[in-house]
Chains A and B, each alone.
Chain A
């Protein structure tokens, strides 16, 4: 196991990316920082730039405009990084699949950019904070 992976398992710095979401998942992500869930005690920290991130927390369906920027964000995130697709929209566009402005699903676009992308799916609408934490912990234990 590379030292990077070891560092990843010790504490995870995450960058939140909204690709066209209704904000429910985004708010539950912010909830993770609040006293009841308090993910900082697990070493999970929200950072302000993808350049410092070990993982991306992605929400939203992947609108056409947002995908343009997502490509840049992903390329700026140091590899290896884990992309957590939070919520039904991120996992596969869900009820918005017929939208003319929806370019997703995000995992398809991600694999086109990087066939070796590490992707974790956390379904739910929105996934409860417990589900998000469980998703992050399970993924990190598995890699």
Chain B
């Protein structure tokens, strides 16, 4: 860390405000402006890549779906695609469609989660409660299809483990119709709200140039005019057969990223409806007996961006090397480009804008150069909400009305 001894350091970290240096995010401030940022990520390091080498190829999906709970469908999918490349195996068509359905349902509930948290950070708790309420039916659907709200355990090398029963299809379509209407309403309410415009526009801007230098992906990139999406660029599963749009925004501020995520939910609903209607009959897996020596790269577009897995095999039944790159690994460091120069009241929402894991975002505090905390997470949250309240007062708009709540 640079020797900025005189300058107070803002630490964004776990647990306790009066601790020293346990923080996840550490920010240096000058008055109330952020001048630098550092992050400690060893809290979550479980050594998964090494554990993977002790497991057999078909056991690894269960491990990697727990890399990140909310991208739990995309990690095993990227992994099995890498292994399927090595083995030269193509899963049957029905399996490809089932994979799409589950991954898009996950995208919907992940983005809704984000919308809720973002609302919470800026003081729109109605949005928080509302988004998380409408997330629940999606989790129910996933539970009905896979048996678990959050860990689906559905992909395996060669296809899918379980099929979607025919009785579930009408339920999926019915829920999607409801969700479609609700999301459209929420999107309109959020995007038309002048307070949200004033609060989020111009905040936490990630320029296109910085987005490329930091190699960001997902909505973080698409909100900065970097037009990438693995589903379209390197189509996997059944995406090449479906009709949908990649959502991008030019400006790169928090508002742009919110727009991208909200509109992506609507695109996901479109994708699932098509996938469900076109779901072909047939088997859901191909048997794979052996993985020959070789190496494969598999990727999937998780809600946060591109999930990349590299697998090397020597012909045995365990991976020799398994590299896992979650999208947040490249998105989170882009804080260096977005937080510097921001006011501390904007720090929580800027950090939340790349959609890191929830636990990471709650580990926020400001410490001085001796690592004594100046402001904790609660304070930063309060500052963020107070800024929204001030803007509301200046603009003079009534409370956002979300019907049916």
Contact = CB atoms under 8 A, between A and B. Distances in A.
A128 to B, nearest CB: 7
B132 interface: yes
Contacts of A26: 69, 357-359
Interface stretch (B46-54, B161-169, B274-282): B46-54
8 contacts: A18-B14, A22-B66, A23-B359, A27-B150, A69-B43, A99-B47, A99-B48, A126-B149
Given A18-B43, A63-B43, A102-B47, A24 B151 contact: yes
Given A22-B67, A36-B136, A63-B42, A100 B47 contact: yes
B62 interface: yes
Interface stretch (B15-23, B172-180, B196-204, B263-271): B15-23
Contacts of A31: 132
A128 B151 CA distance: 11
Contacts of A128: 149
Interface residues of A, number: 42
A5 B119 CA distance: 36
Interface of A: 16-28, 30-31, 34-36, 48-50, 60-61, 63-66, 68-69, 72-73, 76, 95-96, 98-102, 125-126, 128
Given A24-B66, A24-B150, A50 B16 contact: yes
Contacts of A96: 46-48, 51
A19 B128 CA distance: 25
Nearest to A61: B46
B374 interface: no
Contact of A101 (B47, B128, B151, B362): B47
Contacts of B240: none
B56 interface: no
Contact of B68 (A18, A19, A23, A72): A23
B44 interface: yes
A48 to B, nearest CB: 4
A126 B14 contact: no
Contacts of B17: 48-49
B359 A102 contact: no
Interface string B125-150: 00011001100100000000000111
Nearest to A95: B63
